[in-house]
Amino acid sequence: MIVLLPPSETKAAGGTGASLTTAGLGYPGLAVARSRALAALDRLVAAGQDVSTPAKARAAADNAAVRTSPTMPAVERYTGVLYDALDAGSLAPAARRWVDEHVVIQSALLGFVRAGDLIPAYKVSEHSKLPGERMRELWAHAGDELSGFALDLRSKAYAQLAPVAGAVPVEIVSPEGKALNHWNKAGKGAFVRALAESGAEAGSADALVAWAAEASVPLTRTDAGLRLVVQDPRLAAATR
């Protein structure tokens, strides 16, 4: 089983790992696409980037140093609501190993990366315009590198950017059955944390639902995939 996560716009600064080595990333079949994306980013940097605000200046600096800046595990590089709820850095060693073995994050710059892959800070999203490249064309076949049961927690935009055949999407809803926005991300992070802490293994959606029943996680089958109920919006507590 793999768990597909979206990236985040915000990223932690710094790192203690050596500079980016694409040969060290998971899914080596994406090497050509990664080289094209990085070359396009080089062209963007050379053409000049918007530095009109402190946030944009930092993003421009990150992009300019993407090949030389220090790295850190992808699951720690990404920040924001989902990754705060997952809080991989606080997991016990066994649960953290589960994350490194099962979680796959989709980067607009590097394609699919494993949770433990060492990546730099950068500012590229699915909406970015990289000179000479189209995001949809760049990553259209990236999903071919993945195999086995895939639990899809990505946003629709990223799922469309790099389709993964057979991936099972998860809908996050309130106890009343209403779609959520902010708490959607928190619920996803809490769900992945629960999977990691239990060491969950499942080869199908039905097997995952069976695990959820034993773990008291409100996860059910739907015609479209799976549905997870977030019980407490303040804590996104989908894992009780």
Report the DSSP beta bridge partners of residue 170. Answer: 226
Residue 236 located in a structural domain = no
Indicate whether 68 pLDDT > 60. yes
pLDDT of residue 137: 96
| Alpha carbons 14 and 65: distance in angstroms, whole number | 11
How many whole angstroms separate alpha carbon 161 and alpha carbon 71?
25
Decide: helix, strand or coil at residue 145.
Answer: helix
pLDDT the model gives residue 234 = 47
Task: Specify the length of the chain in residues.
Answer: 240
Mean pLDDT of 109-138: 96
**What average pLDDT does the segment 128-149 reach?**
96
User: Which whole number is the average pLDDT over 65-74?
Assistant: 98
What is the reported pLDDT for 232? 55
DSSP letter assigned to residue 140:
T
Q: Lowest-confidence range among 8-17, 19-28, 171-180, 194-203? A: 171-180
Interval 183-193 mean pLDDT: 92
Asked if residue 64 is part of any domain, the answer here is yes
Whether 238 has a pLDDT exceeding 70, the answer reads no
Residue 235 lies in a domain: no
Burial class of residue 123 (count of CB atoms within 10 Å of its CB; 0-12, 13-18, 19+): buried
CA distances from 16 to 20, 70, 163, 169 (A): 12, 6, 33, 34
**C-alpha triplet 107, 113, 114: angle, nearest 5°:** 140
How many domains does the chain contain in total? Answer: 1
| Domain that includes residue 133, residue range | 2-229
How do residues 159-186 score in pLDDT, each as one tens digit? Answer: 999 999 999 999 999 888 887 777 889 9
Q: Is residue 239 part of a domain?
A: no
Q: How far apart are CA 35 and CA 168, in angstroms?
A: 29
- The pLDDT of residue 239 is 43
Q: Residue 128's CB: how many other CB atoms inside 10 A?
A: 17
Q: Which two tokens stand for residue 38?
A: 């990085």
Instruction: Give the helix ranges, DSSP H, for the chain.
Output: 31-47, 54-64, 74-77, 81-86, 93-102, 135-138, 156-161, 182-198, 205-215
In a domain, 97, yes or no: yes
Q: SS3 of 54, please?
A: helix
Compute the radius of gyration of the chain from its Cα atoms: 18
Facing residues of 38 across strands?
A: none
Q: 124 lies in a domain?
A: yes
